[in-house]
Amino acid sequence: MKLFIKKPIAQLMAASAATEKTLKRTLGVGSLIALGIGAIIGAGIFVRTAAAAGEHAGPAVTISFLIAASGCALAGLCYAEFASMIPIAGSAYTYSYATMGEFIAWIIGWDLVLEYALGAATVSIGWSQYFNEFLHTFFNVHIPYQWAHSFFETSNTTTGMYAAELGTRGVVNLPAILILFLLTLLLIKGTAESAVVNNIIVVVKVAIVLMIIGLGWHYINPALHTPYMIPADAGTVKVSTGVINYGDTFNHGWLGVLRGASVVFFAFIGFDAVSTAAQEAKNPQKDMPKGILVSLVICTALYILFSHVLTGLVSYKEFLIQGKEASVTYAIKAAMGPSYHWLANLVTVSILAGFSSVILVMLMGQTRVFYTMSTDGLIPKIFSKLHPKYQTPYKSQWLFFGFVSIFAGFIPDRIVGDMVSIGTLFAFVLVCFGIMILRNTDPNLVRPFKTPIYYIVCPLGALICLGMIASEGWENWARLIVWLLIGFIVYFGYSIKRSHVRKGKVEPADGPINPKYVE
């Protein structure tokens, strides 16, 4: 039994050529950069920034972003080499299949569920928070706390829309499930976002971030940045899910900053979603590396400036209490005064649109990976079954809607977001190792883009990502291990017996998804 049987790169490229007539190469480098920015700027900057600052890093969350960005940049160089060399849908799963074999590819594919599916769940929870803020701001109504929060959360705010519901326990997050349902319908029917619409949303989101940085800079209170890192004697804060003790190992100082990096790492996961569009790029050999790396650089700069401003407007502790619901709008209203309420309102509206595009990209990326795994025979055919009219993987979309809704509706965002981060970091480590392996096992492959000084970049990228993984709490390690064990059961009980590569099959029966319907 060969666990590490590889899918020949020649076979991958042949499959790509065979599907050229169906797959339309319509995305230029500008659209790929916009796709990356559209996926990256979302819940990470508007939700996870406040969570990382409030729980672990304080104002030093800017350093957390630098650490996370450095790991992503190094892994991004590895992704860029893979994407230019193997411009095939499937992202890290496909890359691993060609370099490290089927078993590692299975782990990656199974692990990517934590990135894309649970990423969509995390963003939908953030969407729910801002949707309630939108209702409260424009219509002076809001969805009761118990119907907009998970069972594991209890209201602890004394101001704002939930002031009268102090102590109320959540039941289910209905708005989060609603947006998942609507976007699932959109993807199934085939009227998903076009590149033009996505570009418009990206411009709006970036403009809002720049306005917050530019206008908010004048309202920064330097005292809030001192001390820059959370001290060990900062005390405790009661939050909706329990108590945060800053004396804990990873809740203060440099270790808190490192833990914060693993939290805000969620903010960067969108850049690798660009690689899932490799078969739709006009010139993947040149455009894919640019799309991945340029979007990453732009977003990193915005994140650092944004987090510096945000932590200078209100105390990091307030993000855990009064600012829990829509932290950015809270900070603007609290620090900049009534004259800038228009900015807070604009942020709320733009974030709703921006979050929707992120969820759409995440759901699309997940079905793409599972579609590829299904056509390889590793998971049931239902995941590659196409709608007779729309040519979209409609059954897969409905299954993932149910799966993602469970997490979005019943699990707090901090737990779901942490699961996304640890799963993605693990995938990045394997991608870094994949480049090192392929450089040694097949040095003569045509590489339109080469990772510079790979013998340093690859191990350093893996090391930084492993460092962030090490800072995760034991609860996240336990969740990852349990998830992987479930995956092993599926692989050895089902996948290994039905693998197309093991049987010598090349082409899937149903053919590829038409990107016209899932861009």
- CA 353 – CA 341 distance, rounded (Å): 19
Report yes or no: 64 and 257 within 8 Å, Cβ to Cβ.
Answer: yes
Q: Using 50, 70 and 90 to split pLDDT, how confident is the model at 14?
A: low
- pLDDT, one tens digit per residue, over 139-156 is 889 899 999 999 888 887
Q: How far apart are CA 81 and CA 85, in angstroms?
A: 6
Report pLDDT for 461. 94
- The larger pLDDT score, comparing residue 221 to residue 159, is at 221
SS3 for 89? Answer: coil
DSSP state letters, 185-196: HHHHHT----HH
**What is the rounded CA–CA span in Å between residue 133 and residue 121?**
19
In which band, very low, low, confident or very high, does the pLDDT at 489 lie, cut at 50, 70 and 90?
Answer: very high
Q: Are 231 and 256 in contact (CB under 8 A)?
A: no
Confidence grade of residue 197 (pLDDT, cut at 50, 70, 90)? low
Average pLDDT over every residue of 323-346 = 85
Residue type, 254: W
Tokens representing residue 489 in the block: 């059961």
Contact between residue 109 and residue 423 where contact means Cβ atoms under 8 Å apart: no
Using a 10 angstrom Cβ sphere, with 0-12 exposed, 13-18 middle and 19 or more buried, the burial of residue 389 is exposed
Which residues pair with residue 510 across a beta bridge? none
- For residues 340 and 216, the answer to whether their CB atoms sit within 8 Å is no
Q: Crossing angle, helix 394-410 and helix 174-189, to 10 degrees?
A: 170
Element (H, E) at 35: helix 29-40
- Reported as type and span, the H/E element at residue 361 is helix 341-375
Distances (CA, A) of 487 to 81, 105, 370, 400, 466: 28, 12, 13, 16, 21
Please report, in angstroms and rounded to a whole number, the separation of the first and last CA atoms in the chain.
38
Lowest pLDDT segment from 76-90, 379-393, 489-503? 76-90
Q: Which residue has the tokens 């190469």?
A: 25
Angle, nearest 10°, between helix axes 61-85 and 413-441? 40
Residue 74 amino acid letter: L
pLDDT of the residue at 464: 93
Which residues 6+ apart lie within 8 Å of 133 measured at CB?
Answer: 161, 325, 326, 329, 348
Which pLDDT score, from 0 to 100, does residue 16 have? Answer: 56
d(CA 79, CA 432): 8
Is 227 strand, coil or helix?
Answer: coil
How many Å apart are CA 129 and CA 175, to the nearest integer?
9
Helix (H, G, I), strand (E, B) or coil at 466: helix
Whether residue 1 has pLDDT greater than 60: no
Q: Strands, DSSP E only, in 206-274?
A: 236-239, 242-245
Residue located via tokens 């319907």: 517
Among residues 47, 121, 132, which one has the least CA distance to residue 306? 47
Decide: 392 and 405 in contact? Cβ < 8 Å.
no
Give residue 23's pLDDT band: very low, low, confident or very high (50, 70, 90): very low
Q: Are 90 and 285 in contact (CB under 8 A)?
A: no
Return d(Cα 240, Cα 243) in angstroms, integer.
8
For the record, the structure tokens of 277 come out as 């569009």
CA-to-CA separations, 328 to 61, 309, 333, 335, in angstroms, rounded? 15, 10, 9, 11
d(CA 171, CA 149): 6
Share of the chain above pLDDT 70, in %: 86
Cα 497 to Cα 382, 435, 503: the distances in Å are: 17, 28, 9
pTM of the full structure: 0.80
What are the beta bridge partners of residue 279?
none
Q: In terms of pLDDT, which residue wins out, 275 or 424?
A: 424
Picking from 11, 31, 7, 8, the residue whose alpha carbon sits closest to that of residue 19 is 11
Tell me the C-alpha to C-alpha distance, in Å, between residue 24 and each of 277, 421, 442: 11, 32, 30
In angstroms, rounded to a whole number, what is the distance separating the alpha carbons of residues 126 and 92?
Answer: 26
Residue 191 has pLDDT above 60, yes or no: no
Mean pLDDT over 468-488 rounds to 87
DSSP H or E stretch at residue 406:
helix 394-410
pLDDT at residue 269, as a whole number: 72
Establish whether the linkage from the previous residue to 512 is cis, with ω within 30° of 0. Answer: no
Mean pLDDT, range 154-167, rounded to an integer: 80
pLDDT of residue 441: 83
14-18, 181-185, 447-451, range with greatest mean pLDDT: 181-185
Cβ contacts of 491 within 8 Å, gap of 6 or more: 103, 106, 110, 378
Instruction: State how beta strands 236-239 and 242-245 pair.
Output: antiparallel
Rounded (10°) angle between helices 341-375 and 327-336 = 160
Is 117 in contact with 397 (CB distance < 8 Å)? no
Phi and psi at residue 173, to the nearest 5°: -90, 85
The residues that bridge with 245 in the sheet, in sequence order, are: 236
The pLDDT of residue 299 = 87
Q: How far is CA 371 from CA 157, 177, 471, 503, 509, in A?
A: 43, 23, 33, 19, 12
What's residue 182's pLDDT?
92
Q: How many CB atoms lie within 10 A of CB 499?
A: 18
